[in-house]
Amino acid sequence: MDEKRAEPDFLPVSTPATLYGEFTQNSNRRGRWAVNLTEKDLVVQRIASAPVGRNKVVLSLRDCVGCRAYREDDKADPSAYFAAYFYPLRKRRWMTSPSRQRVEQCFRLAALQDSHANLEEAEKWARAVRERSARQQRLRDDVLLNSLPHPCRILLFVNPQSGKGQALTLYNSHIQRMLNEAGVIHKLIITERQNHARELVKDVDLSQWDALVIMSGDGLLHEVINGLLERPDWEEAVRTPLGILPGGSGNALAASVHYYSGVSQVRGEELLVSCGFLLCRGLVSHMDLVSLHLSSGQRLFSFLSLAWGFVADVDVESEKYRHAGAARFTVGTLVRLASLRIYKGKLAYLPASRGRHMDKRGERREAACCRNPASCLTQTLEDDFPNNTCHSNNSLKLRRSEGRSPRSAAKALPGPPDALLPPLDQPLPSDWVLVPEEEFVLMLAMHQSHLAEDLLAAPNARLADGVIHLFYVTAGISRSALLRLFLAMEKGAHLDTNCQHLVHEKVRALRLEPGAGKGIITVDGEVVEYGPIQAEVHAGLGRVISG
């Protein structure tokens, strides 16, 4: 999508500060309601003798997804209606945290005998609600890019097999209605097999769509992102805003996007409604993507995580508990704890504090100083490869340089070049850190906050912070300490447990060389070939609909 095209859907303020009207409600034609539309709220009050507080409803326009005017089929009835749809945060009696609940306000305008005049008046109200609601979207120029146009057109991929196999039911029960309320035009694609979405995305005419939305687990989004980056026009394609609606059992990106919106943690259908709300509001942010190289020469992109050891094993082994939904990871964790094992390998990383990069004007800056990671073009360490030699067969051994450009490895592969990574079989530059331990229980590289709906693995991560949050747990940790870590992770408190075996580093690139033998490595929850792997973050390369 052309980012310049997406102007917010409102005109300069021309309507009066407050609109006032008295109407009946569609659901109750006996009473009358006084309706005040201010710049920030829709205030609805029943005109009755009861005390004011009891019959007054104040709905924030920040919670509004849409408003429409219409007439019913009855030609003899000249009335028109306007209906506004809100999703405010409300706490249900049996729930610990608030979640978004649907509230519809529908008013009947029948002051005139002329149906056109009534409809015109209803349209005036609907437009005013939409315009004011759009003005309530605060665009923070450091992270948020723009908002989706209105009306917006989305291509919605639903994986009917994802999670407990209920994604289509959830689409029918929640999402279809929300999109209609928000005036979002969408085409539904029900994926039929693995890689179906990837193939479609590689060929689709992206100019027809303002966003691609995925209703599934994280695996389908992984496919879509890689499909976009495999296109010849990947530079343009990767800027297509992506939306995520949780339909799987992990739903890590959906939980991360919800978390960044500042609202307390929710799960299941509450998380779906929250993500649906964010989609309807249509604010677009940058998102980091991580480029990965496998030993076979394959290159792929990741938006979420790279896991080896305990976490990867749990992810794959817990597939058989899929019917349990999000609880599958808890069951899997307990089963794997019972047969806890050690994973041998070598791990090295480039600390974020050392990753220097160029901005658009070609000036050198420290990564940590960058206020707007999205403005980063490419990171380069070419200057950090001073002439030197290294005589080692071990590619994780640090070196000064071998006089060849680190870009050469990525040249023939799609997507942006990697400037920090030498070829996988070559030693690493001297400013990388080699982890002294070679026995691990897990290695987990997180690009976003959540590993699953209820696993806040990297609480400080942000959509486009330009860093990989690298965690590793060294051998020697007891089963009970590891269990405590995972229990604390539900609230993101694992780093406060002062576990000496847990290390957290913010890095810009990493390399893992697992020891010989079989094992599991996952990228965004999907299994990739086992063997040496390296990764580099591309700050703000992707776009995601967030809050």
Ligand X SMILES: Nc1ncnc2c1ncn2[C@@H]1O[C@H](COP(=O)(O)OP(=O)(O)OP(=O)(O)O)[C@@H](O)[C@H]1O
400 with 386: CB under 8 angstroms?
yes
Reduced to 3 states (helix: H, G, I; strand: E, B; else coil), residue 131 is helix
Q: Say if residue 351 is preceded by a cis peptide, omega within 30 of 0.
A: no
List residues with catalytic annotation.
218
Residues with Cβ within 8 Å of residue 266, at least 6 apart in sequence? 97, 99, 258, 274
Site membership for ligand X, residue 193 (CB under 6 A): yes
Reduced to 3 states (helix: H, G, I; strand: E, B; else coil), residue 430 is coil
Closest alpha carbon to 142 in 496, 464, 388 = 464
Nearest residue (CB) to ligand X, 217 versus 466: 217
Site membership for ligand X, residue 370 (CB under 6 A): no
Measured CA to CA, the distance from residue 349 to residue 509 in angstroms comes to 6
Measured CA to CA, the distance from residue 53 to residue 257 in angstroms comes to 35
**In angstroms, what is the minimal distance from the CB of 146 to ligand X?**
27
Stretch that binds ligand X, among 154-162, 258-266, 304-312, 433-441 (CB under 6 A): 154-162
Binding-site member from 159, 291, 474, 522 for ligand X (CB under 6 A) = 159
Residues with Cβ within 8 Å of residue 412, at least 6 apart in sequence? none
Residue whose CB is nearest to ligand X in the complex, by number? 217
Site membership for ligand X, residue 160 (CB under 6 A): yes
Considering only residues 221-280, where is the footprint of ligand X by CB under 6 A? 223, 248-251
**In angstroms, what is the minimal distance from the CB of 125 to ligand X?**
41
Nearest residue (CB) to ligand X, 172 versus 194: 194
**In angstroms, what is the minimal distance from the CB of 270 to ligand X?**
17
Please state whether beta strands 428-429 and 398-399 pair in parallel, antiparallel, or not at all (unpaired): parallel
Stretch that binds ligand X, among 113-121, 214-222, 428-436, 468-476 (CB under 6 A): 214-222
Measured CA to CA, the distance from residue 544 to residue 16 in angstroms comes to 35
Measured CA to CA, the distance from residue 477 to residue 486 in angstroms comes to 13
Measured CA to CA, the distance from residue 542 to residue 291 in angstroms comes to 12
Give the single-character DSSP code of 120.
H
Helix locations, 318-371, DSSP H: 328-338
Stretch that binds ligand X, among 95-103, 144-152, 191-199, 335-343 (CB under 6 A): 191-199
Distances (CA, A) of 39 to 1, 28, 267, 443, 505: 30, 27, 32, 50, 45
**In angstroms, what is the minimal distance from the CB of 217 to ligand X?**
2
**In angstroms, what is the minimal distance from the CB of 191 to ligand X?**
3
**In angstroms, what is the minimal distance from the CB of 334 to ligand X?**
18
Site membership for ligand X, residue 5 (CB under 6 A): no
Stretch that binds ligand X, among 95-103, 188-196, 427-435, 436-444 (CB under 6 A): 188-196
Site membership for ligand X, residue 330 (CB under 6 A): no
Max Cα-Cα span within the chain: 92
Binding-site member from 133, 147, 191, 302 for ligand X (CB under 6 A) = 191
**In angstroms, what is the minimal distance from the CB of 454 to ligand X?**
12
Nearest residue (CB) to ligand X, 422 versus 525: 525
- What sign does the CA torsion over 315, 316, 321, 324 have? positive
Site membership for ligand X, residue 192 (CB under 6 A): yes
Site membership for ligand X, residue 161 (CB under 6 A): yes
Considering only residues 515-544, where is the footprint of ligand X by CB under 6 A? 525
Site membership for ligand X, residue 466 (CB under 6 A): no
In the complex, which residues of this chain contact ligand X (CB under 6 A)?
Answer: 159-163, 191-196, 216-220, 223, 248-251, 525
